[in-house]
A and B are shown apart, each in its own frame.
Chain A
């Protein structure tokens, strides 16, 4: 086995997350799929770090985690705000700008 196998797992997880963002309707599940994509990217960063023998990839993954935490906080606050005004967490219902 070589460390490239981790990259295949990362690619698969990223693709699955992308399908989820498009297919699911519950805003929270869509958001969890975005988190899955971020995690997949982190896995590939850690693997790159190992392949190259430097720690820069791990530092980048660390920054990605911080940014993801910020994103979760703001995103969930937006979902709660939308739910409060529209009584629904479905992404299909939040289409007021369309009409």
Chain B
């Protein structure tokens, strides 16, 4: 017979709503980095739940593997890939959101009502007996006796996954990198000579020569392709018109 102590009850009613709210926030926030941080919070909460439920080893592994390794990998890939238009929350398939939420409410209701009706026919047993020699020794005994074959198969899976990731991430150029001479020839043979002298660098005169301002072309229009697409997608771009000189200041006489 399992008796749940008051501290665990308090912990549960404090952390469970926070975990669900963080998971909901993961769906609703716009930036993928914020989603990753909220997911890390959910995982830490789950680790606390594991430790509270006499699964000390799994709680530690949850923190080390998930909030440590997996979330670090997610954030690393997020930084590598950068931000683009896919962060927006607009619906691309009409009605998708309504259908998804309806289906999810139905599915969740089904699960919750199922759990509510399911009984074991006896009281919850608790892990006091199974953990009497300590959680880690008891787990190790199971892992290296009953589950030794799955354990070996899983190790093979890990090696295969590492190899697969290496093969996937390995990048082989399909064509050779163009040399400077080939690039110069290509610039003159495209038909128009607009970029024959090279593309404009970002910045406006000496007034604001940072990379977040498009260059001004001789006719006064900003050159959109002179700044990075990532800055544009992130919205960190200034108008170049505000740095335009109205007229050339002729009162300054050049000193010899």
Q: In chain B between 115 and 164, which residues have their CB closer than 8 angstroms to a CB of chain A?
A: 115, 120, 124-127, 129-131, 138-139, 142-143, 146-147, 150-151, 154, 157-158, 160-162, 164
* Cβ of B42 to closest chain A Cβ, rounded Å: 7
In the complex, the number of residue pairs spanning A and B with C-beta atoms less than 8 Å apart equals 237
B-binding residues in A (CB < 8 A): 1-9, 11-20, 22-29, 31-33, 35-36, 39, 42-43, 46-47, 49-56, 58-59, 61-63, 65-74, 76-81, 83-84, 87-93
Judge whether B36 and A13 touch: CB under 8 Å.
Answer: no
* Cβ of B1 to closest chain A Cβ, rounded Å: 10
Alpha-carbon separation in the docked complex, A47 to B118 (Å): 14
Q: Does B168 contact A (CB under 8 A)?
A: yes
Q: Does B197 contact A (CB under 8 A)?
A: no
Since A3-B124, A46-B53 are in contact, a sample of 14 more A-B pairs with Cβ atoms closer than 8 Å, ordered by chain A residue number, is A4-B115, A25-B88, A28-B78, A29-B26, A32-B32, A36-B42, A47-B53, A58-B57, A58-B139, A69-B161, A70-B157, A77-B164, A80-B80, A87-B84
Judge whether A72 and B104 touch: CB under 8 Å.
Answer: no
* Cβ of B9 to closest chain A Cβ, rounded Å: 4
Instruction: Say which one of B60-68, B185-193, B211-219, B246-254 lies at the interface with A.
Output: B60-68
* CB closest residue in chain B, given A47: B53
* CB closest residue in chain A, given B54: A50
Q: In chain B between 1 and 48, which residues have their CB closer than 8 angstroms to a CB of chain A?
A: 2, 4, 8-9, 12-13, 16, 19-20, 23-24, 26-27, 32, 35-36, 39, 42-43, 46
User: Could you show 30 A-B contacts with beta carbons less than 8 Å apart?
Assistant: A1-B8, A4-B124, A6-B53, A9-B20, A11-B115, A15-B104, A19-B104, A22-B103, A23-B27, A23-B97, A23-B100, A28-B74, A28-B78, A35-B70, A46-B58, A50-B53, A50-B54, A55-B130, A55-B131, A62-B57, A62-B143, A73-B162, A76-B77, A77-B164, A77-B168, A80-B168, A87-B84, A88-B86, A91-B86, A92-B92
Residue of B103, B147, B161 most packed against chain A (CB within 10 A): B161
Chain B residues with Cβ below 8 Å from A63 are 147, 150-151, 154
Chain A residues with Cβ below 8 Å from B36 are 28, 32
Chain A residues with Cβ below 8 Å from B55 are 46, 49-50, 58, 61
Judge whether B81 and A90 touch: CB under 8 Å.
Answer: no
Alpha-carbon separation in the docked complex, A24 to B26 (Å): 10
Chain B residues with Cβ below 8 Å from A28 are 32, 36, 74, 77-78, 81
Alpha-carbon separation in the docked complex, A93 to B84 (Å): 12
